[in-house]
Each structure stands twice: as structure tokens, then as C-alpha cells.
Structure 1
Amino acid sequence: MVFLRRIFRAFQYRDFRIMWLGACVSTIGTFVQQFAQSWLVYDLTKDPFYLGLDLFLGQLPFMLFSLVGGVFADRLDRKKMLLCSQVIQMVCAFALALLFFLHVVKVWHILTLSFLVGVGQSFGGPAYSALLPTLVGPEDLANAISMNSIQFNLARIIGPTIGGLAYTALGATWCFTLNGISYLAVIVSLVVIKVKFVPAKTQNSVMKSMHEGIRFIREREGLTALVVLAFCTTLFGFSLSGFLPVIVRTIFHKGPETYELLLVCSGAGSICGALIVAAMERLKGQGRIALMTLSGLGLATAGFAFSRWLPLSCVLIFLSGMMVMASASLMISLVQLIVADSMRGRVMSVYNLAFRAGIPLGALVMGKMIPWWGVSKAVSGFGLALVGVAVYFFIVLKNTGTFRKLA
């Protein structure tokens, strides 16, 4: 009982419990829509290019506007900013449901709405990242971040399951409608919670405020290293799941059921990794643990690339999912502990941009490497590169103030 209380200790805070539940319901709705939207785009176009374009347009606003969103998260009421973001995304979901119900939906409608949802997320993301630490005490921040990771991974498993059932039984219209309804959970939670943050008044321009955030990262020991590590983690460590269909078909010569099995193993590992971090008290040497976890992720990825025995591959992808989530949770909690609250929105926008930018870039590079090297060598190369990054930071930063700050 005491162990369980330690794992879930962030839930002792009323506002965090409410926000967690609202975010979990909304994220489930997002995955329900993603399931139906992918099928709809392909049904309308019969061209896989538009699937990639839809994903790209959904990510593009984050790349363009998240730094500006970070500035606004430090200048404006974060709760109201997040409310506006959720309303934008809810309207887009209901608009797509209406277009499909009326049988007038075109692919350009979907692409446009994906871009608008991305715009909402690019401002809502920094606001949410900055809001989360204000809901718990500093000693429970790492636990709260782990709990937040758990809700995302639970939604990643539950959402597509509900999406598949709703799509088969009720049709795509209800998938989009359910997502629209799910945003009400976040909106209600935001209305109910009490946020202590009061934005400081400033006459600085948006560009000057952005420069202040970047300068803060450069001057504060440990932050630059964490931003670089975040980028390298997603660049080399997140590409495996995107190319699982290639491994399933070319190495195991199996069908979708094996792909689903490996995804479930990865998701289960992610939840376990988040639970392990949640159970940890704030440790001395947390930076070292993060680097060791990254090394383990790289080795598990390399081992998975050359495995030809499915049970071993299931174990290795479980371990990689666990270490992905553990390392990500450890690093983001270190960032949140280092940063000042007045700079939190800007710093988190830069960190999140680095974290997310590595995913499409890594996928693009690996997509080019696979035809040259083969999928096993390409995936293992990425895994060993991640080990090299972790070892580099451990050796170079070992005796510096930066490493002590990471610890």
C-alpha cells in the first residue's frame, strides 16, 4: 500500500488529479480520430503520399509557432491560453464530423483542419508544459511527469481500440464526434482547477522575449545539454516504431497481427518505464541515470534489429519502450527543476521543439539508409549512435558543473 502511494503520490494534489483525468480522456479521443482519419485519407486518395502529407501538416505548425507559443505562455494566463487551444481543436473535430456526415468531405478539408489543429497544439503545448509543474510540489514533479507519460501511453493503447470498434460499428462520423466530445473533459478540468501563476508584465517584443529564453538556456548550466540530449533521443531512439512494418514483413515475414503484438509490447514497456520513474524518489545522480538509460535504449534497439526470434524481439522492444519513456521522463523532470517559473513557457517550448524535431528527421534519414544498408544495419546503427551520444555526454561532462547540474 505504501509502495502504491509512492508511485501515485502526484494524485494527492486535487488539481493534478482533475487535469490528468481530463487530459487522458482528450488524448484517447485524439487517438480515436487518428485511427479513422488515416483510413479516410487513404480511402479518398488511394495514395500513401497524402497520409505523409497529413502527418506533416499536423506537425508543421509546431515547428513554426511553438517558440512564439512559449513566449505567450510566459506572458498570458496559461489556463486561458490552454482553453483557447482546446476549443480550436474541438471545433476542428466537430467540423470534420459534420463534413463527413453531409458526404461533402474532400482531402483538402482534412489537410486544412490538420494544420489548424497543429496551430492549436503549438500554443497549447507550451502552456500545458508550463502549467503542469504549478499543480504539484517540486518534490513530486518527476512523479507528475511520469504520471502524465502514463496517461499518454494508456491513451495510445485504448484510443485505437475504441477507434476500430467505433469505425466498424458506427462509422467515421462518430470517431470524429467522439474526439470533439472528449475535449469537453479538458475544458471542464481547466475551468475547475486553480492556477497560481501570475504572468509578469513586460514591454519587450515577442522576438526579444524569445531571445531571452534562448539566452537563459545557454547560460543556465545543464539546460543546453538536456536540449541536445532530447533531440538525439528522438533522432536515434524513436525511429524504431515507425519502421516496424518493414521489420515485420522483411525479417519475420508476418502480417498485421505481429505488428500489433510488437506495438503492444512497446506500449506496455513505456507504461512500465513511466511507473518505475514514478516510484523513484528524487535521486542524486538523476542525470547519470538518464544517460545510462539512453545507453540501454541504444543497445536494446541494436539487439532488436538483429533478432530473428520473435519472443526475443518482444522482450527487446518491451525494454526499448521502457527505456524510451524512463529517459524522456527523467530528462524533462530535470529541465522542469532547473528552469525558473517566469521562463518556463519559453524554455519548455525550445525543449519540446528539439524533442519533436528529432522524430521526423530521424525517420527521413532512416528511410534513406534502409535501401542502402538494409533495415537491420540501419536500425542497429541508430541504436549504437545513441549509445555513442550517451557515452560522449558522460565523458565530456563528467567533471564539469554542467554534469553536476544534470545530476
Structure 2
Amino acid sequence: MKNANLFSNRNFILLWIGQVISQLGNSLYELAIMWYILQKTGSSMAMGVSVVCYTIPTILFGLVAGVFADRYDKKKIIMFSDLINGIIMLLTCFFIAKDMISIYGLYLIMILTSSVAAMFSPAISSIWPLIVKEEDLTKRNSLSQITNRACTILGPVLSGILLAAFHIWILFLINGISFLIAVLMESFITVPAVNKRKAVNEKFFFQMKEGILYITKTRSLLHLVFVGGLIINFFLAPLTIYSAVISKNLQRGSVGLGMLESSVGIGALAGGFIIFLGVMKNKYKIAIAGLALEGIGLMGYGMFSNSFYVILVFASVIGIGVSMASVGISTLFQTLVDKDKMGRVMSALGILCTISVPIGTMCCSAVINYCPVGIVLLISGIIVTISAISLIPIFKDRITNKIDEEKTSVINY
């Protein structure tokens, strides 16, 4: 690619703008559908079922989606996925406006949109390394982190305003239109071809498991997945529950919980800007520093769980760490994994992370019934910090720039 920098890259700009618009629309939809389910049923259990409807398709279809992303035209996959979700949203808008949909219909919509998203995710993850220069991937990922966090902060605020001013079907209409805008933007990008000769000749089911095999065959990649995927997601998944318990213990109520969650979001935004501005450039250092900050933040959360304003600071530290770790680990995978296997590897990583979140939430939620939340947070922070430090000897040469990391591939098949 001959573009001078990230913002002169036409493919990147078109795809990025389309994704920002659809992400903002989706953030409106996510709050709206949860609110609609609560209003329709008055049951928190129904909301819990909706979370399951979001999660299961990722686990069931993730590996299949990864194979499709590596076998077929990635641009067509993301366009088709966004088009289908756009149509689903517009149909849902109509059914809600006419009061023609039941709670089970909403569950079906969640399953369908989540299934389509499962197909979309490995394809879009595989496209970025193809249209963005390797030296610009860290900046691209940090920009994605910034916009993702901005959407998660702005989305609920805008959703609340729109829900108060208009009927709920308006939010589904906006989300549907945002998907169609994304399709339009995607139609103008050019994605370089990847050699698929070997992929086409291999059996489909072999390719399904190849993403996991690819990870397990290399010690450094396996260690990175274990620490940056499984361990971190396991211990960070219950953070909102911890925050809710602490806010209740300190008699801060829902306002306190909102402040703690906002502090994490603000920290994540700050972390994205830190990387985007080039304060840290080595992707290995960014990943390890981010993971370590998550651990330090959890330890601070635990040690000062009786001081609300102190833990606000540590909540921001966790946010900075989350942002840095996400950017660093994403960039590592995008540069270390062979391009023709990117979809399978990214979908395998996504499944492992998805599975660890509910397990971590259930386990840690059960433990705080018998152990003070501060102790649980402190122990979690220590484990996360030690895990982050364990990556240093694995990537020692790359951290110190002793080898040409830009040309290094994890596995040669």
C-alpha cells in the first residue's frame, strides 16, 4: 500500500467511518432493547436470558465464521452481514411500531443479529491488516479503541434522551439506517487478495480446528492467549458487580456505580489517546504495560475499597490498562499471525475470551458472598499483575527490539 499515513488511506477512512456510524447505532439499540424487555416483562431474569442470546451464537458459530473469513471474499462477508442486520433492524422497527412482537420474538432477533455479528467479526478483524500498513496498525487499533469507548459513553446518553422524547421504534430505525450506511461505505473499499489456494484444498472441518491448533503450537502465542485472553477476561469480567457491591457498601447507590463505570470509560479513552499520540510505540510493551495496569488497578480497588474517591482513580487506571492491553494484543495478533489464517485464529481467540467472561462472572460473584470484596479484588489484581509480568521473558527480545519484529511470523506452515 502506497499511502503516506493512516489518514491518507482511503480504504481505512471509508471502513472506519462506516464502522463508527454502525457502532453508535448499535449502542443505541443495545440499551433500547434491554429497556424494552424490562418494560414488557418487568423481569431481570428476562434481561439475563437476553445476555445468553447474545453470547451463545458467538460460541456456536465462531469457528465456522473464521473459516468463512479465510476462504471467501472478506469484503462481501462484512457487506452482507451489515445488510442483513440492517434489514433485521428495520423489520423489528416495523413490528415494534405496530406492537406485533413478543418477548420470544425479541430473543429471536437477538440470536439472529448476534449470529450475523459472529460472521462479521473475524472478517473485519482480518481486513484491517490487509488495508493498513503494519507500522500503522497500533495507531489504527488505538483509534478504534477511542471510538469504541466514545460510542459506549455517548450511546447510552443519546439512547436515554431519544427514549424520553420518542417511541422506542425510532432507535431501531436509526440502527437499521446506520447498518445500511456502513454497507454503502464498505462498497467503496478495495481489499487486497490473499492466497487461498491451500485454504480451498483443505477440508472445512480441519480448517475449523486449525485456528486453535495454530495458537497451541507456539509457546509465545499460547501464553499470550492464556494471559491476555483467558486470565484477564476471567478476573475483569465481574468488575461491574464489584463496583455495584462497593457502591452499595459505601452507600453511594446507583450514582456511585455510574461514577465508577464512567471512570473506567474515561480511563479507556485516555489510554487510547496515549497510544494514538505515540507516547508508547512498541506493541509488546503496550500489551504488557496495559495488562500490568489492569492488575495494579484491581489491587488498588481492593486495598482502598473503603475510600470511594481513591477507587475512582484506580477505576481510571483499570480503564487505561484495558485500552492499552486491547490495542497491544490486537496488534500482536494482526502482525504475528499469517494473513491467510487470520480469520480462524481471531475467531478462536474470540470464543476463548467469550467463554471466560461468564465463567469469571459466575465464579467471582459466588466468592464475594463468602469473602470481602476488597480481598477478592486484591487477590485478583495480584494474579493479573504476575500474569502480565510472566510475558516479559516470553517476548524479551522483541521488547528490547533485538530482532526485526515487523518481519516475524509465529508459525510457518
- Which amino acid in structure 1 is aligned with residue 295 of structure 2? G
Opposite residue 56 of structure 2, the aligned amino acid is L
* Distance of aligned partners of 1:159 and 1:199 in 2 relative to their CA distance in 1, 3 Å threshold: farther
Q: Tell me the distance in 2 between the aligned counterparts of 1:11 and 1:106.
A: 45
Is 1:47 paired with 2:43?
yes
> Counterpart of 1:378?
376
Which residue identity does 1:290 align to in structure 2?
A
**Aligned residue for 1:195?**
191
Q: Which of 300, 303, 317 lines up with 2:300 in the alignment?
A: 303
CA contact (8 A) 1:70 1:349 kept: yes
Find the residue that maps to 1:298 and give its secondary structure: helix
Matched with 2:153 is 157
Q: Is the 8 A contact 1:226 1:335 kept in 2?
A: no
Deviations 1:3-45 (A, max 9, x none): xxxxx95323111111111111111111111111111111222
Give the structure 2 partner of residue 259 of structure 1: 257
Q: Corresponding residue for 2:410?
A: none
Moved over 6 A (4+): 398-407
Please tell me whether residue 244 in structure 1 is matched to residue 243 in structure 2: yes
* Residue 117 of structure 1, CA deviation: 0.8
Shift of 1:361: 1.8
Residue aligned with 2:99, SS: coil
Residues 388 and 112 of structure 1, relative CA distance in 2, 3 Å threshold? same
d(CA) in 2 for partners of 1:405, 1:259 = 46
**Residues 159-199 of structure 1, C-alpha deviations (whole Å, 9 max, x = no match):** 11110011000021111111111112211111011111245
Secondary structure at 1:372's aligned position in 2?
coil
- Of the candidates 274, 277, 281, which is equivalent to residue 276 of structure 1? 274
Question: In structure 2, what is the equivalent of residue 142 of structure 1?
Answer: 138
Give the residue type in structure 2 aligned to 1:385: I
Structure 1 residue 287 displacement after superposition: 2.6
CA distance in 1, matches of 2:353, 2:6: 24
Q: How far apart are 1:307 and its partner, in Å?
A: 2.9
Distance 2:35 2:366 in 1: 26
Q: Determine the structure 2 residue equivalent to 1:231.
A: 230
Displacement, 1:259? 2.2
Letter in 2 for 1:297: E
RMSD across aligned positions (CA): 2.4
Which amino acid is the alignment partner of residue 341 of structure 1? K
Q: C-alpha offsets along residues 89-148 of structure 1, whole Å, 9 cap, x if unaligned?
A: 222222222221111221101111101111101110000100111121111111111111
Instruction: Report the Cα distance in structure 1 between the residues aligned to 2:390 and 2:160, rounded to whole angstroms.
Output: 44
- CA deviation vs aligned residue, 1:241-270 (integer Å, no higher than 9, x gap): 3442222122x2123222222222211111
Contact 1:85/1:123, CA 8 A, preserved across alignment: yes
Separation in 2, partners of 1:131, 1:83: 12
- For the pair 1:294 / 2:291, whether they are aligned, the reply is yes
1:33 to 29, 41, 59: 29
CA contact (8 A) 1:23 1:185 kept: no
Contact 1:77 1:198 in 2 (8 A): no
- Partners of 2:301 and 2:208 in 1: how far apart? 41
Give a deviation string over 1:277-316, Cα, whole Å, max 9, x none: 22338845x4344224322211211212333333222211
Equivalent of 1:57, from 53, 59, 71?
53
| Distance in 1 of aligned mates of 2:321 and 2:204 | 37
User: CA distance change for structure 1 residues 154 and 390 in 2, over 3 Å: closer, same or farther?
Assistant: same
Matched-pair contact (CA < 8 Å) for 1:294–1:323: yes
Structure 1 portions without partners, runs of 5+: 1-7
* Structure 1 pair 399–295 and aligned structure 2 pair: CA distance change class (3 A): closer
Q: Matches of residues 1-400 of structure 1 in structure 2 within 5 Å?
A: 10-198=6-194, 200-201=196-197, 202-220=200-218, 222-229=220-227, 230-250=229-249, 252-280=250-278, 283=281, 286-305=283-302, 306-394=304-392, 397=394
Closer/same/farther in 2, CA of residues 172 and 140 from structure 1, 3 Å limit:
same
Deviation string 1:326-349 (CA, Å, 9 cap, x unpaired) is 011101101111111111111111
Number of the residue aligned with 2:408 = none
Aligned-pair distance for 1:220?
A: 4.3
Moved more, 330-339 or 82-91: 82-91
Structure-2 separation of matches of 1:377 and 1:146: 33
What's the counterpart of residue 411 of structure 2? none
State the alpha-carbon separation in 2 of the partners of residues 31 and 39 from structure 1: 13
Matched to 1:390, the amino acid is A
Q: 1:104 to 1:181 in 2, by over 3 A?
A: same
Residues 97 and 81 (structure 1), Cα distance of their counterparts in 2 relative to 1, 3 Å cut: same
**What secondary structure is seen at the aligned counterpart in 2 of 1:373?**
coil
Cα deviation, residue 376, structure 1: 2.3
Q: Shift in Å at residue 388 of structure 1?
A: 2.7
Deviates more, 1:166-175 or 1:209-218: 209-218
> How far did 1:221 drift?
5.5
Q: Which amino acid aligns with 2:233?
A: T
Change (3 A) 1:401 1:10: closer
If the length of structure 2 is used for normalisation, what is the TM-score?
0.89
Contact 2:138 2:281 in 1 (8 A): no
Letter in 2 for 1:246: V
Task: State the partner residue of 2:409.
Answer: none
Q: Compared with structure 1, are the counterparts of its residues 143 and 398 closer, same or farther at alpha carbon in structure 2 (3 Å cutoff)?
A: closer
1:301/1:316 contact within 8 Å kept: yes
Amino acid paired to 1:203? N
Whether the 8 Å contact between 2:211 and 2:347 is mirrored in structure 1 is no
Counterpart for residue 5 of structure 1: none
Q: Which moved more, 1:116-125 or 1:177-186?
A: 177-186
